[in-house]
Amino acid sequence: MSGHTEHTTPTGGYEPKIMAFVCNWCTYAGADLAGTSRMEYRPNVRIIKLPCTGRIDPLFIIKAFENGADGVLVSGCHPGDCHYTTGNYHARRRWIGFKNLMEFAGIDMRRLHFSWVSASEAIKWVDLINKVTDEIKALGPFMEYKGLKEKSAEQGE
Amino acid sequence: MKIRLGNEDIQSASVRRLERITGEDVKRCYQCGNCSGGCPVSYAMEIPPTKVMRFLQLGNIEEVQNANSMWLCVGCLQCYSRCPQGVSVAAILEGMRQETLRKGESRTEVKEVPFPFLKKAPQQAIVCGFRKFVG
Amino acid sequence: MKIPYYPGCTLNTVAKQFDTSARESASSVGFEMKELAQWNCCGATFPLTPDNVIGLTAPAKVLSNASKEGDTLTTLCAVCYNVLKRTNKVIRDNREKRNVINGFIEEEYDGSVNILHYLEVLRDKVGFDKVKASVKRPLKGIKAATYYGCMLLRPFEDIGIDKAERPTIFEDLLAALGAEPVEFANKIECCGAHLAMNNEEVVTTLSGKVMTSAVGAGAELIVTTCPLCQFNLEKSQPKVAEAGSGYSPVPVIYFTQALGLALGQDIATLGFEKNSSDIMPLLKKKGIA
Amino acid sequence: MPRIGVFVCQCGNNIAATVDTKKVAEEMGKLPGVVYTCDYKFMCSSPGQEMLKQAIKENKLDGLIVSACSPHMHEKTFRKAAEAAGLNPYQCEITNIREQCSWVHHDKTKAAGTVKSIDLTRMTIQRLKKNQPLNKIKIPVKKKAVVIGGGIAGIQAALDIAEGGREVILVEKEPSIGGNMARLSETFPTMDCSQCILTPKMVEAELNERITLYTYSEVEKVDGYIGNFTVTVRRKAKYVDEERCTGCGECIEKCPFKVESAFELGLSKRKVIYTPFPQSVPNVPVIDAPNCTKIQKDKCGACAIVCGPKCIDFKMEDKLETVEAGAIVVATGYQNMPNERFGEYGYGRIKDVISGMQFERLASSSGPTGGEIRRPSDGKVPQSVVFIQCVGSRDEKKGVSYCSKICCMYTAKHTKLYSHKVHGGQSYVFYMDIRSGGKRYEEFVRGAIEHDGAMYLRGRVSRVYEKDGKIMVQGADTLSGSQVEIEADMVVLATAVVSRDGADTLAQRLGIGYDKYKFYNEYHPKLKPVETVTAGIYLAGTCMGPMDIPESVAQGSAAASKVLALFSADEMAREPITSVVNRTTCNACWDCLTACPYTAIEREAIKDRQGNVVRWVAKVNDGVCQGCGVCVAACRSKSIDLKGYTDEQVFAAINAF
Ligand SMILES: Cc1cc2nc3c(=O)[nH]c(=O)nc-3n(C[C@H](O)[C@H](O)[C@H](O)COP(=O)(O)OP(=O)(O)OC[C@H]3O[C@@H](n4cnc5c(N)ncnc54)[C@H](O)[C@@H]3O)c2cc1C
Ligand SMILES: Cc1cc2nc3c(=O)[nH]c(=O)nc-3n(C[C@H](O)[C@H](O)[C@H](O)COP(=O)(O)OP(=O)(O)OC[C@H]3O[C@@H](n4cnc5c(N)ncnc54)[C@H](O)[C@@H]3O)c2cc1C
Ligand code: SF4
Ligand code: SF4
Ligand code: SF4
Ligand code: SF4
Ligand code: SF4
Ligand code: SF4
Ligand code: SF4
Ligand code: SF4
């Protein structure tokens, strides 16, 4: 789909783009609370809401990088707090095998962040986004997948 | 007795050292008193087992070192076998004894042991006793 | 059936009667105790602090020697049993320590030997039924206190010879021999152990409690499994009696002496004269000797 | 080509201050498929909603985006409006440009907020294009409840559900309902007699026309899901016809054989044909078959001879009955830890070392001593009683690590009962901490100490042994730092409250969770204390963990209110966010089945025309699926997808990033 906003701010500096996969019950609500509390954080993150981190398919993350993300954040309920009792536990278990896949796919694990943010942890959310943004910014743009999407488009995927 | 407590007491390096030597965690003791209740020599100890654990929790290792408790412990493991928290006061006391012996101090001089005893006693008592009292 | 046997230093000397009566009895119930060709003192103390690996080398040496003679090892002294069994467990379960220990003793021992106390051999290999069937001189009418002491039982997780707080193995044996085991309060309490060396007061108190509770429960005889228990009880007995609590001494013997007696061995060979308490009046009274 | 409308809300100045809503609308208008855009001051206001409906109709929209506040605020509002305008409500999606943009990016130039709003709205639009119309799942609800366990918690739940006008089957495995409370003498903190407050409730349950008692029965199997359970109950043979029995008790009178009474915890005997206790409900005896000589050896038959109505039938057999029910309340209670584990306390060996529950029986006026405190060995009135608390509780090594919560209180109660009944007697209590956090509880304990003279010693007991006919208790008083020895006539152990034997089996049948101690797990320990992860199954009382009567009763009522809420409509509507299996590609690896936290996935056989099973596939039970999507991520062949969050939808959003 159409071009996403550029990797540069109006003033010209590099601004990373970060995709966040969050669960509906904890982290999404925590981010909402940051809003209702009028906290401020870096504008680099775009949230995709899922029912549970257990829904996250590793391919989502790879696709996010393919689509120009410089970093990806996954955040859900704290262990033991999952709305679906064990969904986040499943997610975490899956990450173990998943890490290898990411490295195999050439993704620097430093670009991938996992966290737990509960519905009341607005401050944690704000700090997290600021921290992740700064870290990804320091890493610079993610170039490995540059052009990959266009290429696959050419091949008529 | 009055105790002045500071962070350095609670985080006492010597207690941490003792924990390393003995593999015990003094925080585990919840002061139930079972060990003191069951220890056969607790009656003669200046500081009974439960209090030993408490002093260590407070970081006051000297208090215990100066008492007779570690020299009286017979190693019967009654404390350990009934401690609901699985703490071995016996190991703690042995650790403290070792520390002291390694510094070359002891409560029993070999010459103090009555000679007739050495002649008649089972070897195991002598071996064990020397290990415990002399190092 | 030949079972490798570790006597330990005490049974080689002051507790010789413990050793000889056991060997004799073994042959009467159908097994042979094969003394290890090479052995050393086990150290008589299991180091309670895990950093003391050196303390494990002596028993490890014994174990490694034993492994060359078979897959089981039996022993009589409760202390040896305790030290060997626990050391063996460390070597078996803790790879790191195993390597250190093997380095010291210059052997490659992996903890595979099965340590059995003589009581366990009787219970699990021979069977108390068979023991019972072999009895020629039942200890009929003798109320016997079975004094376990500490080392035969604790720590339960490592030793596991029987239930920690309510063991019965010893009573079961005495019952098989025709005696009447008495239940007494201090049967698993300490006798004072190595404090014999420098604290007579404590030893007299603790041993005194063991004996008064046994005799108070009706015991006419106290049976032990450990030379140190035997020593402490016998040594304390006169003092306890002197203290004027109305306690009157009873014979204290090793369980193997009781066993040999019941299996019909010549009384003269059981080494009762080496005990400092005298069992003969009791045996006469009961019509056994 | 889809026809999508985009409505950007200004939220007064809440959004408009830092997001250029007009620009967002304009930009979105450029995207293919977007046929209508606007920005408006208050989308959720009545005029706003009217405008939205109007626009749907006028522009023949088949999908719409409202870029406004968090979907947690107004998703329902706008979906309803869309539905009113004739659209499938799930064709309406929200973009959160307030909580995620305007309120958190304070840049007055509107740069960052606007860019982010555009990105987010674009992602939502692309996602919307992949949306499928969904319909709420309607589940018919059978308005009958099964309550398992007839202790006080179960009785209370049954009574409240019946009170609410619904039918209840109360399944109790013993011959009488009443549970543990029936054993108690008097109850803290008010000291009313347990029988006096319990018996009326038991009778009420029996007489209530909406409650059917299935005593001497156990749940064998549970199928179905919320609103539609099929519960199979084994009704064990009582050998007595319940309908005809008048409860005259002649049979019991005549039975020549006695065995130990389980109800009395071995303190007395009962006949082979028996009711557990005199106030049993129903008052119908049962024959304890393994001990009956007639049933075992065809001798005796005395009871049948004396029975007037001839209701004894030695040939009776267990029956399996199925009950259709919409909801299940589990209230199977607790038991006390068997103390044989504590050899050092002499339990089982020293006769006068008893458990707290046995003490209840001694103190109960309907108990084996008629309420007089007499020790079991010789019937003497004990002049000194030592109570030992925390036996098995707070003991990681030999028991359980948790606190049993009620024993501090009942021990204080025991000392009171003892001091009232035995004048001049002295009670001693060994405790580690006194836990009396309840209304009037601390005062109750202080009363035991100050009024009734109980001697509290802070410490654990190391061992209990016999000496010269006395029971010696050897422990410590940690407050004075000394070893303590007490000569007692009787010792009472406050033994741990543990889960029932077989609690795990029942949980597996029900598909509910339990912890490592086999206590059942509530859905959420604070906010859903009587729900389980399995919709339609609720919990009450001590099957969840130690608690006292007031709490058990409160939970019984809470569970009943959940059941009544469920039964308040004929159908329950559920969000259609559930998983579906693609039966052609599913290769029956069952990864989804093991991953699903709700056991919502079943094995389904695909059969050919002759009825032979050709292959197996996974099948999602819509009634049970909660829509977490764990199965979707687990399926390696991509054969299962979550409606509302399909792979296609998520990928579309990612691709629009
Ligand atoms: C010694 C002692 C004294 C106490 N004193 C007090 C007091 O003074 N005040 C106070 O508030 N609390 C007291 N309590 C606590 C009180 O007993 C409990 O809070 C209360 O009885 C719990 O009720 P319940 O219904 O949860 O469980 P229970 O009473 O255990 O009832 C559970 C019922 O379910 C049945 N059941 C079990 N499994 C199944 C199955 N699979 N199928 C069918 N039926 C089954 C059982 O037979 C039983 O009838 C005391 C507890 C003890 C141990
Ligand atoms: C420091 C502290 C920490 C705590 N931490 C925890 C914890 O970690 N976990 C936990 O489980 N519990 C905790 N609690 C306990 C918890 O706060 C309470 O259990 C819970 O909040 C009680 O909720 P409530 O609805 O009963 O009462 P409240 O929260 O007091 O609510 C009562 C409401 O009624 C309103 N109201 C009062 N009078 C009137 C009136 N006349 N008309 C109309 N409205 C009225 C009040 O304004 C209030 O909104 C804590 C308590 C404290 C003090
Ligand atoms: S028994 Fe264990 S927990 Fe209790 S006081 Fe002694 S060491 Fe502490
Ligand atoms: S091992 Fe020592 S401290 Fe422990 S009970 Fe025995 S004598 Fe007391
Ligand atoms: S829809 Fe939401 S954003 Fe718009 S006016 Fe209402 S509350 Fe504000
Ligand atoms: S005699 Fe018959 S009617 Fe009377 S209680 Fe017994 S079974 Fe019932
Ligand atoms: S038939 Fe059975 S239940 Fe009836 S009286 Fe005889 S033994 Fe009792
Ligand atoms: S309620 Fe009291 S007696 Fe019971 S376990 Fe807790 S602290 Fe111990
Ligand atoms: S979405 Fe969740 S609840 Fe539904 S079937 Fe899949 S794993 Fe089970
Ligand atoms: S994981 Fe996928 S392939 Fe395997 S059974 Fe479930 S739906 Fe079928």
**pLDDT tens per residue, range C76-119:** 999 999 999 999 999 999 999 999 999 999 999 999 999 999 99
Burial of D482 (0-12, 13-18, 19+ CB in 10 A): middle
Question: Does the beta carbon of D156 lie inside 6 Å of ligand 8?
Answer: no
**What's the CA-to-centroid distance between D496 and ligand 8, angstroms?**
8
Is position B1 within any domain? no
Same domain membership, residue B64 and residue B28: yes
What average pLDDT score do residues B16-33 get?
96
Fold of C136-285: Rossmann fold (3.40.50)
CB contact under 8 A, A90 and D115: no
Pairing mode of beta strands C180-182, C143-146: parallel
Residues B113 and B132 in one domain: yes
D465 Cβ under 8 Å from any chain C Cβ: yes
Which of C153, C158, C165, C247 should one mutate to test binding to chain D, selecting the residue with the greatest count of D CBs within 10 A? C165
Alpha-carbon gap, residue A140 to A132, rounded angstroms:
12
For residue D459, the ligand closest to its alpha carbon is: 3
pLDDT digits (tens, 9 = 90+) for C263-282: 999 999 999 999 999 999 99
One domain, residues D18 and D108 = yes
Q: Which two tokens stand for residue D341?
A: 């584990």
pLDDT at A6 exceeding the cut of 60: no
Q: Which residues of B touch C50 (CB under 8 A)?
A: 21-23
How would you class C229 by CB atoms within 10 Å of its CB: exposed for 0-12, middle for 13-18, buried for 19 or more? Answer: buried
Rounded Cα gap, residues D492 and D429, in angstroms: 9
In this structure, the answer to whether residues B60 and B18 fall within a common structural domain is yes
Same domain, B99 and B43: yes
- Is the whole-model pTM more than 0.90? no
Q: Give the tokens for residue A4.
A: 């996403």
**Are C165 and D344 a contacting pair at CB < 8 A?**
yes
* Interface touch A38/D112, C-beta < 8 Å: no
Decide: residue D338, CB within 10 A, 0-12 exposed, 13-18 middle, 19+ buried: middle
The answer to which of B104-108, C182-186, D594-598 has the lowest mean pLDDT is B104-108
Burial class (CB in 10 A: 0-12, 13-18, 19+), C132: middle
Q: Domain check: are B50 and B71 in the same one? A: yes
Residue by residue, DSSP assigns C193-228 as GGGGGT-HHHHHHHHHHHHHHHHHTT-SEEEES-HH
The per-residue pLDDT for A87 is 66
Nearest to D542 by CA among D534, D551, D533: D551
Percent of chain B exceeding pLDDT 70 equals 90
What is the number of structural domains in chain B? 2
Residue D281: both structure tokens together: 């409900």
Q: Which residues approach ligand 5 with their CB closer than 6 A? A: D 9, 11, 14-15, 42-44, 68-69, 73-74, 98
One domain, residues D374 and D400: yes
Mutate to test the pocket of ligand 8, among D386, D400, D403 (most ligand atoms within 8 A of CB): D403
Looking at the fold, whether D95 and D200 belong to one and the same domain comes out as no
Lowest mean pLDDT, pick from D274-288, D551-565, D614-628: D614-628
Residue among B30, B36, B86 whose CB faces D476 most closely: B36
Overall residue count recorded for chain D in this entry: 657
Do residues C151 and C79 lie in contact, with contact meaning Cβ atoms separated by under 8 Å?
A: yes
Query: Minimal Cα distance from B131: which residue of C?
Result: C45
* D324 and D444 part of one domain: no
**Are B14 and B32 part of one and the same domain?**
yes
pLDDT tens, position by position, A114-155 = 898 988 889 999 999 999 999 999 999 988 776 666 655 555
Q: State chain C's mean pLDDT as an integer.
A: 94
Could you tell me if D442 and D326 lie in one domain? Answer: no
pLDDT one-digit tens code per residue, D49-75:
999 999 999 999 999 999 999 999 999
Label residue A7 by pLDDT band (50, 70, 90): very low
**Cis-peptide, bond into residue C155, ω within 30° of zero:** yes
pLDDT band at D362 (very low <50, low <70, confident <90, very high): very high
Q: What percent of chain A has pLDDT over 90?
A: 46
What the block records as the tokens of A56 is: 């996250």
Question: Would you say the ipTM is above 0.85?
Answer: no
D306 with D124: CB under 8 angstroms? no
What is the overall mean pLDDT for chain D?
95
Question: Could you say which of D516, D544, D570 is where a domain stops?
Answer: D570
Nearest to D426 by CA among D473, D392, D366: D473
* Same structural domain, D589 and D637: yes
From the CB of D356, is ligand 1 less than 6 Å away? yes
Domain of residue B90, residue span:
7-103
Domains in chain C: boundaries: 2-119, 136-285
* D588 C-beta closer than 6 A to ligand 10: yes
Q: Are residues B59 and B93 in the same domain?
A: yes
Provide mean pLDDT across the span D337-353: 88
| Contact check, Cβ <8 Å, D650/A67 | no
CA quadruple D416, D420, D421, D424: dihedral positive or negative?
positive
Q: Report chain D residues whose CB lies below 8 A from the CB of A64.
A: 654, 657
Q: Is a pLDDT exceeding 60 seen at residue D642?
A: yes
Is there a contact between D476 and B37 if contact means CB atoms under 8 Å apart?
Answer: yes
CATH of the domain at D13: 3.40.50
Confidence at C51, pLDDT banded by 50, 70, 90:
confident
Name every chain C residue with its beta carbon within 8 A of the beta carbon of B91. 48-49
Supply the range of the domain harboring residue D17.
4-129
Q: Looking at D285, D315, D345, which one is the last position of a domain?
A: D315
Quick check: D262 pLDDT over 50?
Answer: yes
- Give me the pLDDT at residue D518, please: 95
Q: Can you give the residue ranges of every domain in chain A?
A: 18-148
What's the mean pLDDT in D119-129?
96
Please classify residue D170 by burial: count the beta carbons closer than 10 Å to its beta carbon, then call 0-12 exposed, 13-18 middle and 19+ buried: buried
The answer on pLDDT for D400 being more than 80 is yes
Closest chain C C-alpha to D505 CA, distance in angstroms: 29
Q: Which ligand is nearest to the CA of D287?
A: 7
Provide residues with CB under 6 Å of ligand 6: D 240, 245-251, 285, 306-309, 311-312
Residue B102 pLDDT: 85
List chain B residues with CB under 8 Å of D477. 33
Residue whose CA is closest, atom 6 of ligand 4?
B76
**In a domain? residue B85:** yes
Q: Are D357 and D486 within one domain?
A: yes
Shared-domain flag, residues D169 and D279: no
Across residues D181-197, what is the average pLDDT?
96
Tell the residue nearest (CA) to atom 45 of ligand 1: D149
Q: Is the pLDDT of residue D379 over 50?
A: yes
Q: Let me know whether D232 and D242 are in one domain.
A: no
Q: Are B79 and B89 in contact (CB under 8 A)?
A: yes
Q: Whose atoms come closest to the Cα of B78: which ligand?
A: 4
Quote the pLDDT of residue C262.
Answer: 97
Predicted pLDDT of residue C12 = 86
Closest CA to C25 of C205, C247, C253: C253
Q: B86: left (phi > 0), else alpha (psi -120 to 50), else beta?
A: left
Confidence (pLDDT) at D396: 92
- Whether residue B121 and residue C14 make contact (CB cut-off 8 A), yes or no, is yes
Report the CATH number at residue B74: 1.10.1060.10
Assign domain C2-119 one CATH number from 1.10.10.60, 3.40.630.30, 1.20.1050.140, 3.10.100.10: 1.20.1050.140
- Give me the pLDDT at residue A3, please: 38
From D465, D483, D498, the end of a domain falls on D498
A96, pLDDT greater than 80: no
- How far apart are the CA of D541 and the nearest CA of chain B, in angstroms? 28
Token representation of residue C179: 């005696």
Q: Which atom of ligand 8 is nearest to the CA of D546?
A: 1
Using CB atoms within 10 A of its CB, is residue D450 exposed (0-12), middle (13-18) or buried (19+)?
exposed
* Interchain contact, D468 vs C165, CB within 8 Å: no
pLDDT reading at A4 higher than 50: no
Q: Which fold has domain A18-148?
A: Rossmann fold (3.40.50)
Q: Contact D397/B37, CB-based, under 8 Å?
A: no
CA dist., res. D491 & res. C146, Å (int): 26
Each residue's pLDDT tens digit, D143-160: 999 999 999 999 999 999
**Is any ligand 10 atom within 6 A of the Cβ of residue D590?**
yes
Task: Round to whole Å and give the CA distance between D30 and D121.
Answer: 12
Q: pLDDT tens across C220-235, in order? A: 999 999 999 999 999 9
Any ligand 1 atom below 6 A from CB of D155: no
Environment class of A35 (CB within 10 Å of its CB; exposed 0-12, middle 13-18, buried 19+): buried
**Of the candidates D112, D630, D633, which has its C-beta nearest A84's C-beta?**
D630
Question: CB distance C185–D344 less than 8 Å?
Answer: no
Domain count along chain D: 5
Instruction: Output the pLDDT for position C237.
Output: 94
Domain shared by D144 and D276, yes or no: no
Same domain, D483 and D520: no
Would the pLDDT of A157 be above 50?
no
Q: Is the CB of D302 under 6 A from ligand 7?
A: yes
- Please state, for a pLDDT cut of 90, what percent of chain D lies above it: 90
Q: Which residues of D touch B34 (CB under 8 A)?
A: 459-462, 475-476
- Interface residues of chain B, partner chain D, Cβ below 8 Å: 30-39, 42-43, 48, 50-51, 78, 82-86
- The closest ligand to the CA of D254 turns out to be 7
CB spacing of D100 vs A54 below 8 angstroms: no
Work out how many CB contacts closer than 8 A connect B with C.
Answer: 137
- Asked whether A135 and A47 are in contact (CB, 8 A), the reply is no
Q: Please give the sequence-ordered ranges of beta strands (E in DSSP) within chain C, or none if there are none.
A: 2-6, 32-35, 72-75, 114-117, 143-146, 180-182, 221-224, 252-254
> How far apart are the CA of C152 and the centre of ligand 9, in A?
56
- For residues B95 and B113, membership in a common domain is answered with no
- Say how far residue B75 (Cα) sits from the centre of its chain: 9
For residue D336, report the distance from its CA to the centre of ligand 1, in Å: 10
Ligand nearest to the CA of D496: 8
Token pair for residue C146? 């079975």
Instruction: Kindly report, residue by residue over C142-201, the tens digit of the pLDDT.
Output: 999 999 999 999 999 999 999 989 999 999 999 999 999 999 999 999 999 999 888 899
Residues D292 and D374 in one domain: no
Does residue C20 carry a pLDDT above 60?
yes
Angle at C218 between CA C217 and CA C219, to 5 degrees: 105
pLDDT of residue D157: 98
pLDDT above 90: percentage of residues in chain C:
89
> Which of D483, D484, D495 to probe the B interface (max B CBs under 10 A)?
D483
**Residue pair D621/D600 in contact by the 8 Å Cβ criterion:** yes
Q: Ligand 6 pocket check: which of D250, D252, D272, D314 to mutate, most ligand atoms within 8 Å of Cβ?
A: D250
Q: Which of residues 53-92 of A touch D (CB under 8 A)?
A: 54-57, 60, 63-64, 67-69, 83-87, 90-91
Q: Which residues pair with D65 in a beta bridge?
A: D6, D93
In the sheet where D144-148 sits, what is the strand order?
D211-214, D167-171, D144-148, D327-330, D537-539
